[in-house]
Structure 1
């Protein structure tokens, strides 16, 4: 499936530019140009300066719909007709579309309304996969999409199998996780299977929960000591607290030198990600809320 993904976009409420339509168009075009599956599109842009101008940030601000239609959709459709793009379906991923609603412009489209207006222009082989929070589904109510809910994962075998596959991948690639998931340090397939099922149920379908929990097992901050699995965190909030306590376990009071501060920022780098402009951003909306 990953080979079909030709572009992606993350909407982040704490990063205004990711929630604005012109930046979305400009960013998607840039990623499509870099896609290994769409080298013909990149070659076309190199040969046609007017297309580059059409996709400039200035043009995207002036008329994002025209920029996307004439600079992205029409060239891609023409290249497909000329058989310069393989006969495959391709995917653009958009994550956290609800976050873009925090930055509604005074006039013009939100990212959601822009997609609603432009989706009818998409060729049938170029698909969109959009994620939103369950309690904010009205954001995509006008989009002609099939909805898949991750909240019903106990009744959805495919979601359960995907979560289990991720856990098994992490376990198979880390002896530390195996040791700390096993009672008395003994690797037992039955016990590991029970722990895996327990983690899946606790995750409520969240891969972030699984990642952070398995990270704690891998680092030795969590160790299974009984069949009750009481050490397993029950939520993302508890996970953030555990990571915070682990990072600050050696904290001492007093004046902090720049080197110490830099080391602490590096320890937090998986949660406070550095942007290209050297500022920091939260790794995930749930961490910001915590």
Structure 2
């Protein structure tokens, strides 16, 4: 279901930049991810929403919605949306039902090693291993689609626990930052996060679309 909408305007440049980054994904040496940064209320979620459910002429013309393999929105007031294991299971379910993937993905989920880690209790215990077995592994084994696709995650600053980074991912931001370099060459990770949030440091240096409040 689409998120609550604010009128999307004067942000056509951001959609164009996203489209350029996506088209350039298959070029060797290009970053596997893009960060949309900005202060609260700058329009990060509005851009992500317009990317998935376009209503403006620019959004419809970009064609980004047709190339979105999966998406996830983190909400501060909805704790379950920030849990790593729930994110992994929701992502797998979208991939399972996606018409953009080869049929072989579903078959790979039915193997004993993968189906076992997708049990909710097992995934809750080790969501990082579930992400590797059920998302990264199968996607890397699939043939590349006709054009690059995107994976969009909004609101990475929500659900980041206090303290430093541990041996295992304790947030969706840490999980994605730790594995973005392993994504297949045809998939672009697009994430939004507040500027100066500590989770931003997880990603190091990379391409950014920086928003200013208007």
TM-score, scaled relative to structure 2: 0.60
Identify the residue that residue 151 of structure 2 maps to in structure 1.
Answer: 92
Q: Deviations over 1:51-106 (max 9, x none)?
A: 233223222112212111111111111122xxxx52321111100111122x5699
| Alignment partners' CA distance in 1, 2:78 and 2:194 | 18
- Aligned pairs, number: 147
Alignment partner of 1:141 is 2:201: yes
Matched residue, 2:211: 150
Quickly say closer, same or farther: Cα 1:79–1:42, change in 2 above 3 A.
closer
Q: Within 5 Å, which residues of 2 pair with 1:94-243?
A: 94-101=153-160, 108=168, 109-136=170-197, 138-143=198-203, 144-151=205-212, 204=214
**Partners in 2 of 1:142 and 1:6 — Cα distance?**
23
Higher helix fraction (1 or 2): 1
2:73 equivalent in structure 1: 10
* Aligned residue in 1 for 2:107: 44
* Distance in structure 2 (CA, Å) of the matches to 1:104 and 1:48: 37
In 1, the alpha carbon distance for the partners of 2:99 and 2:78 equals 28
- Mark the CA change 1:135 to 1:46 in structure 2 (over 3 Å): closer, same or farther: closer
Give unpaired runs (5+ residues) of structure 2: 1-63
1:62 aligns with 2:125: yes
Higher-Rg member (1/2): 1
CA contact (8 A) 1:7 1:92 kept: yes
The structure-2 alpha-carbon separation of the partners of 1:61 and 1:41, relative to structure 1 and needing over 3 Å to count, comes to: farther
Structure 1 residues 151 and 71: CA distance shift in structure 2, 3 A? same
Q: Distance in 2 between matches of 1:88 and 1:2?
A: 13
- The whole-number CA distance in structure 2 between the counterparts of 1:66 and 1:52 is 12
Q: Do 2:105 and 2:142's aligned partners in 1 also have CA atoms closer than 8 Å?
A: no
1:58 & 1:8 partners in 2: Cα distance?
Answer: 23
Contact 2:75–2:155 (CA<8 Å) still a contact in 1?
A: yes
Q: Note the residue ranges of structure 1 that are not aligned, 5 or more in a row.
A: 153-203, 205-290
Match of 1:29 in 2: 92
Larger RCO (CA within 8 A; separation ≥ 6): 2
2: CA distance between counterparts of 1:105 and 1:61?
21
What aligned pairs does 1:259-274 form with structure 2 within 5 A after superposition? none
For normalisation by structure 1, the TM-score amounts to 0.45
Query: Structure 1 residue 139: deviation in Å?
Result: 1.8
